[in-house]
Amino acid sequence: MTGYGDAERESPAGRLRLEVKTVNHRFFNTSIKTPSGFDRFEKPIADALRTQLTRGHVNAFLSIDRSTVPALPATTVDMDRARAYLAAFDQLRDELHLSGEADLAMLMRFGDVFRTPDVDRTAGVEPELVAELAAEAGSACRVMRESEGERLAADLTARLDAITVLLDRVEARAPERLLEHRDRLRTAVRELSAQVDVDEERLAREIAYAAEKWDINEEVVRFRSHVELFREALGADGSEPVGKRLSFLAQEMGREANTVGSKANDAELAQASISLKEELERIREQVENVE
């Protein structure tokens, strides 16, 4: 489920800003990027985000604005070391009879010529502060995801309503199909045997066999049960994630739709089975975005 949230906090090191973006994922997975020196805060950020978001691929970007704090001490040049390098270059050139002159570009390749004071860029920033920042950004992201979830729930409910209508059609058509099959058998027997009378007992046995073979009552009952469980999960209070449960129920409804199709032996029932599977495919696509 997609979402976005951000938060800012002042700190002794500068103004911290954390942006959180989420996309759909089956599990909780984080990707956290921090400024240099802030790596140690990745775990507090992940832990705080987990309290707000339970599923999805979460991208967190921590940045810092240092314009509100004193500038870091300036970098200095080790002149003695630089002169020693130049003297060594001159010695190599003279003794080995080499051509060329040492220049600034050559000296800049040696990082030890420049001295930068060792300063802790995270001084004064406590893990609790960063965790609060992450929790606030995660909460804002969760609110956006919940808003999207309401729209998804409305769409899924409409799909379930369409499935219920199709199941009503299936239940109404199933007994009609047997009656039509009986009439076809009676007509076929008369035409093949050139008899006016038909052995009704034998015909009844054939119809009973077909009824047992084509019976889809059990599948329809289970299908309706899955639909009701799906509705209950959609109407839950949101205290627990339901995405995996909905995905499982959609999978089970797919099994029942396949069985109805395999037992159809009727164009109208076969078409209803196809329509059921089309609605279920749309549901499965949407469920992938549900936490």
Tokens of 129: 């502060």
The domain in which residue 9 lies consists of 3-70+127-142
Number of domains in the chain: 3
State whether 224 and 107 are in the same domain. no
Predicted confidence (pLDDT) per residue in 198-256, tens digit = 566 666 666 565 555 557 778 888 999 999 999 998 887 766 778 888 989 999 999 88
Q: Which is nearest to 174 in space by CA: 204, 206, 205, 218?
A: 218
* Residue 112: strand, helix, or coil: helix
State whether 57 and 162 are in the same domain. no
43: how many CB neighbours lie within 10 A of its CB?
A: 13
Predicted confidence (pLDDT) per residue in 70-100, tens digit = 666 667 888 888 889 888 888 888 888 888 8
State whether 206 and 252 are in the same domain. yes
What pLDDT score was predicted for residue 18?
Answer: 95
Q: Which amino acid is at 171?
A: E
State whether 36 and 7 are in the same domain. yes
Q: Which residues pair with 31 in a beta bridge?
A: 59
State whether 131 and 197 are in the same domain. no
Q: Compute the Cα dihedral for 273, 279, 284, 285 and give only its sign.
A: positive
pLDDT of 291 higher than 80: no
Predicted confidence (pLDDT) per residue in 162-191, tens digit = 999 999 988 887 777 666 666 665 666 556
Q: Which amino acid is at 25?
A: H
State whether 15 and 66 are in the same domain. yes
- Strands 56-65, 76-77: parallel, antiparallel or unpaired by DSSP? unpaired
Q: List the end-to-end C-alpha distance of the chain, in Å, as a whole number.
A: 7
State whether 90 and 150 are in the same domain. no
What pLDDT score was predicted for residue 32?
Answer: 94
What pLDDT score was predicted for residue 103?
Answer: 83
State whether 97 and 203 are in the same domain. no
pLDDT of 121 higher than 70: no
CATH of the domain at 18: 3.30.230.10
What pLDDT score was predicted for residue 46?
Answer: 95
Average pLDDT, the chain: 82
What pLDDT score was predicted for residue 272?
Answer: 87
* Residue 152 domain flag: yes
Determine which of 14-23, 44-53, 98-107, 250-259 has the lowest per-residue pLDDT on average: 98-107
Tokens of 116: 């930068």
Determine which of 35-49, 135-149, 172-186, 269-283 has the lowest per-residue pLDDT on average: 172-186
- Does the global pTM surpass 0.75? no
CA dihedral 222, 227, 230, 232 (to 10 degrees): -100
State whether 87 and 61 are in the same domain. no
The answer for residues whose C-beta is within 8 angstroms of residue 35's C-beta and 6 or more apart is 62, 63, 64, 121
How far is Cα of residue 64 from the mean position of the Cα atoms in its chain? 29
246 HSE (CA, 13 A, CB side): 29
Give the whole-angstrom CA distance, residue 57 versus residue 65. Answer: 27
* Residue 121 domain flag: no
- DSSP for residue 70: P
State whether 151 and 135 are in the same domain. no
State whether 170 and 135 are in the same domain. no
What pLDDT score was predicted for residue 24?
Answer: 76
What pLDDT score was predicted for residue 226?
Answer: 93
State whether 192 and 204 are in the same domain. yes
Q: Which amino acid is at 7?
A: A
